[in-house]
Amino acid sequence: MLEFKKVELEHVKEIQSFTYNNEILACEKNIINLIVWQRAYNNMFAIKDGMLFLKSGKEKTQSFSLPIGIDIKKGMQHIFEYTAPEMPRFWLQNDGQVNEFKALYADEYDISPVRDAFDYIYKREDLVNLAGKKYHSKRNHIAAFKKQHNWCFKPINDENKAEVLTCAEKWYSENSDRFDEYMAIEKEGIKTIIDNMLILNAKGGAIYVDGEVVAFTLGSPINDSVFDIHIEKALKDYATAYTVINNEFAKTLTDYHYINREDDMGLEGLRKAKLSYKPEILLQKYRCRPLKLACMRLYDNAFHDGPFTVKLFDLCYDNIKTLRIDGETVAMCFLLPCEINGKAAKYIYGFTVKEKYRGQGYGKALMEKIISDTNDILILRPANEKLIDYYKQFGFYEVKASNEKGDISVVPTDSFARFSEKDKKGEYTAMVYGLETDKTLYFPYSLA
């Protein structure tokens, strides 16, 4: 069984013996990030059979990286044994890992990109030269700063680390109105990095104006070709110093081909700024949830049914139908088995499309797939009148239904039968496909 430990300074060499390799581009496996953000994300590690295992998060929400080592299949077995009987969650980067994961577990997992976590990776020479029209505004910022201020750039070392920490104190004081737990951890992390630069193989630089530090940056290598920027700060009165510190520090990183400036956390201003530097690689990150869990999240986000959702999925999950694009579940519904006057039928329940994919034809694609894959009668209950015309386009037509009496009976079977409750709506509109009738359906069952 895997035995996990907190990631701490004493584990730097041990962990880096696995993570410091040229196949890794992502910032998550950088030892500084693992240490600095340990308190926020509960970063833990284990070593077994010559492989490194990393996990983050609390027990019920913990997620794992793919094992780093020689036998990924064996490593994955260790993770599945560790989380049994629950299926583990994973966090992947699109640097070869995603295809490897899909080959093993595509049918069991929902693989969803998380845009807010994408890493911005640049060619070092682009950040140094800032050549061409696309960097015109950057060159102007630098020129204006140099003309306006009596400035210089210095690397961070033991002689000036106190001055850099003073600048950090000023920056957090200037931003005290938004100071929170994460900023407190970041502030503590800056001191950890500066106090342990040799152990962490960290580098940094500072911009001085009239002898005082007004901006600074800190980073460390991910491998021999990629350098990771962890921290970049500039005081409010010297906002254009961000462009200067970026450029000046890149000039010192002559051993590296790429510079990873990490993610934008979904902050619009930060995203705009990072895109303005024209990343060479926008490294995608993926949240990989067990398929049942992902479908539960999709359903509950649409219908907000709370505890009912758990009961529904426990009894009826085998009757789910999904539409998946590149491993991500974009639409779903339940096809609950029933009979209409002795003929096999399916009750389409919980039909929904993930919010960010609505209006793009995915609901239509799922419905067409359902119709083409079954010879059974289909029945559904539109949530509102606006949806009646939507379902008519697929060949459904309106019928009168009642929970009290009718000419044609809808009788649930299998899991639907164990779950159904008497409806309280009286008469309402239902829609059917594959059955022509002008008679009233006796359809007394509800899942709402």
Q: Is residue 36 part of a domain?
A: yes
Question: What mean pLDDT is predicted for residues 358-368?
Answer: 96
Question: What mean pLDDT is predicted for residues 380-387?
Answer: 89
Q: Which two tokens stand for residue 232?
A: 């970049």
Please give the mean pLDDT across all residues of the chain.
93
pLDDT tens for each residue of 32-49:
999 999 999 999 999 999
pLDDT tens for each residue of 194-253:
999 999 999 999 999 999 999 999 999 999 999 999 999 999 999 999 999 999 999 999
* Owning domain of residue 396: 291-446
Q: What is the C-alpha separation between 187 and 219, in angstroms, rounded?
A: 15
Last residue of a domain, one of 279, 307, 338: 279
Number of domains the chain is built from: 3
Q: What is the largest CA-CA distance in the chain?
A: 90
pLDDT tens for each residue of 415-429:
787 777 666 667 889
Q: Which two tokens stand for residue 94?
A: 């699109």
What's the confidence (pLDDT) of residue 447? 65
| Same-domain status, 255 and 404 | no
Last residue of a domain, one of 64, 93, 118: 118
| Same-domain status, 183 and 273 | yes
| Same-domain status, 325 and 378 | yes
443 within 8 A of 347, measured Cβ to Cβ:
no
Burial class (CB in 10 A: 0-12, 13-18, 19+), 64: buried
pLDDT of residue 93 exceeding 60, the answer is yes
32 within 8 A of 13, measured Cβ to Cβ:
no
- 122, β-bridge pairs: 259
15 within 8 A of 31, measured Cβ to Cβ:
yes
Residue 109, amino acid: Y
Confidence band (pLDDT; 50, 70, 90) for 448? low
Whole-model pTM above 0.85? yes
DSSP letters for 324-388: EETTEEEEEEEEEEEEETTEEEEEEEEEEE-GGGTTTTHHHHHHHHHHHH--SEEEE--SSTHHH
| Same-domain status, 42 and 173 | no
- Indicate the DSSP class of residue 68: B
Last residue of a domain, one of 279, 306, 322: 279
Q: What is the C-alpha separation between 33 and 318, in angstroms, rounded?
A: 41
Q: What is the CATH number of the domain that holds 365?
A: 3.40.630.30
What's the confidence (pLDDT) of residue 190? 98
| Same-domain status, 159 and 262 | yes
- Indicate the DSSP class of residue 383: S
